[in-house]
A and B are shown apart, each in its own frame.
Chain A
Amino acid sequence: MVENDIFKALADPTRRAIFEKLAAGRMNASALRDGLDISQPAMSQHLAVLRNAGLVREEREGRFMNYEVDPDGLALIARWLAKYRAWWPARIDALKALLKDMDQ
């Protein structure tokens, strides 16, 4: 499952919690911190990592910055995984053919 791989990529439990919260809908950093035992600077750092990974994007709304799951990022990861998951078996078939030839 591609979705499973995406979630597995979020190995840090705190970031995973943040990401899953955002999956429910966009919110600002202080709403994100509700229910999570995490300082404001730590939240900023986690959000920066998620953003740099292309999983989360931000949008300014008045004085606040809102965060949401970046649909483009997820689509890109899913596409990449799906592509190479299908690509490798074909490469291995070619490798097996070569190994047979090398045996001659």
Chain B
Amino acid sequence: MTDPTEETAADDLVLEYELDAPPSRVWRAISIPAFREQWLPDAALADGAPLPARGDGEIRYRLRDDEPPFLESVVTFQVRPNAEGGSTLRIIHALPAPWRATAVAANDDTPCLMRAA
């Protein structure tokens, strides 16, 4: 049932959107707190400050579920230009840690590649 073309972790919720706005504006909407709050409210986050970046063109936040058991999870936003002068926004929302442990097996710091069985 595994999909060998899947390029992200097996346990991530991955969503991709095409936006009309250029990457620079999308980037500001995601990274500047006053803008970010308007579409991704503080109430949904464990911490309004982003996690340390792992690379260019991405920003990560820690989310906290608003209902018990209030599980925390990490979401990564990746912004890149698309062919129409707009942006492709990729949202990679990882399962909360307790479940994530199942998927990444023993090598717990390499969550980004799925080993196709």
Stretch of A25-33, A59-67, A77-85 lying at the B interface: A77-85
- A52 to B35, alpha carbons, bound, how many Å? 38
Given known A98-B35, A102-B25, contact A52–B98 (CB-CB < 8 A): yes
Q: Could you tell me the dominant secondary structure of chain A's interface residues? A: helix
The size class of the interface chain A forms with chain B is 35 or more
Q: Which residues of B contact A81 (CB under 8 A)?
A: 13, 95
Interface centre among B6, B28, B95 (most CB of A within 10 A): B95
Q: In chain B between 49 and 69, which residues have their CB closer than 8 angstroms to a CB of chain A?
A: 65, 69
CB contacts under 8 Å to B, within A61-104, are 73, 76-77, 80-81, 83-85, 88-89, 91-92, 94-99, 102-103
CB pair B102–A9 under 8 Å, yes or no, is yes
Instruction: Give every chain B residue within 8 A of A55 (Cβ-Cβ).
Output: 99, 102
Chain B: residues with CB nearer than 8 A to chain A?
A: 1-3, 6, 10-11, 13, 15, 17, 19-21, 25-26, 28-29, 35, 38-40, 65, 69, 71, 89, 91, 93, 95-96, 98-105, 114-115, 117
Nearest first, the 3 closest Cβ-Cβ pairs linking A and B are: A53-B102, A94-B39, A99-B21
